[in-house]
Amino acid sequence: MRDSKVIAPDLLAWYDRHARTLPWRVPPGGPPADPYRVWLSEVMLQQTTVAAVKAYFLRFTALWPTVQDLAAAEDARVMAEWAGLGYYARARNLLACARAVAARGGFPDTREGLAALPGIGPYTSAAIASIAFGRTETVVDGNVERVVARLFAVDTPLPRARPQLTALAGQLTPTERPGDYAQAMMDLGATICTPRSPACVICPVQTECEARRQGIAAELPRKLAKAPKPEREGVAWVARQGQALLLEHRPAKGLLGGTLAFPSARWDGRDLPPPGPAQWREIGQVRHVFTHFSLTLRVMSGQLTGNPERGELVPLRQIDREALPGLMRKVWDMAQGEIAA
């Protein structure tokens, strides 16, 4: 049976030489990482790539070096800095969690304690407990699932295989250096045991890998065919008055909650009229893919001929494209031609 005695030593020796250098990490064998930095990076990395997260992480930690600093930040400022990372519920939970941690005087040092905080699920609590507090916890993300499915040649498709993969991953987790081991597994999955073409010939655990032995590595993990994403439609209004555009803060709860946005309707379940009187003209459509649906948004443009019924007029020069969520950046980019005309 494969267990921590056979996998962990080879994997850790490889990690000591090849660990990725990432802004939230300490070098292999170093002191435990700062739980604030581990937590912040893990929340940012949910559904977002390492390459995209790096700049956001550096900016957040420059603005708010400690969890207390973040807890004291204004909601709107944090939401604006988060813009572009998507999944805005994460930013709201980030603030709620920072405030809960600051109120209790620091992060709990167990998986159970961490999992009780807002927005921290099984994966993130295990990652912080092992990487920042040296707890022997098993950290299972998509990368780890893939590596484990291959090491043990698990044929059951995902997501059904998940409990089995978690149990097998648990067998492999060592009591020595569990934090480095967790990061080594992540690195192995991200750099060598990649989804389409695993580089088995340079893999540090190749002699223990059943999928490699059977020649089926690239076929695993198997996955059930995905149902196509449902389609939604909606409308966004680019309302102008002189050198100002109408923007609104979206409701705190729900899609893109709390972000600054062009008034819009229907796609999010809100059946609202145009935000004010104007001769509306369609200038195009934008497409955007959310986790659970794909969206086509018709973009309407018009000069307001009376007072707006919601939102606030913001001078053009004060509108910061980077502070808009990704969907609204697409609307903004489309509106630019109109504004310049």
Per-residue binding string, ligand SF4, 88-127, x by CB under 6 A, is ----------------------------------------
Structure tokens of 118? 């807002």
| Site residues (CB under 6 A) for ligand SF4, limited to 185-214 | 192-193, 198-200, 203, 205-206, 209, 211-212
Nearer to ligand SF4, 28 or 198 (CB): 198
CA distance 296 to 165: 37
Q: Give the CA-trace dihedral at 138, 143, 149, 155, to 10 degrees.
A: 130
How big is the site for ligand SF4, counted in residues (CB under 6 A)? Answer: 15
Per-residue binding string, ligand SF4, 214-253, x by CB under 6 A, is ---x------------------------------------
CA distance 94 to 81: 12
Among 70, 85, 151, 261, the residue binding ligand SF4 under the rule CB under 6 A is 151
Give the residue ranges of DSSP H helices in the chain: 4-18, 35-45, 50-63, 67-71, 75-82, 88-104, 111-115, 122-133, 142-151, 162-172, 178-191, 210-214, 326-340
Nearer to ligand SF4, 117 or 193 (CB): 193
Structure tokens of 318? 């004060």
Least separation in angstroms between residue 209's CB and ligand SF4 is: 3
The reply to whether 322 belongs to the active site is no
Nearer to ligand SF4, 4 or 264 (CB): 4
Least separation in angstroms between residue 168's CB and ligand SF4 is: 13
Q: Are 305 and 283 in contact (CB under 8 A)?
A: no
Whether the CA torsion 148, 153, 158, 163 is positive or negative: it is: negative
CA distance 145 to 161: 9
Q: Which residues are catalytic?
A: 42
Residues that bind ligand SF4 (CB under 6 A): 147, 150-151, 192-193, 198-200, 203, 205-206, 209, 211-212, 217
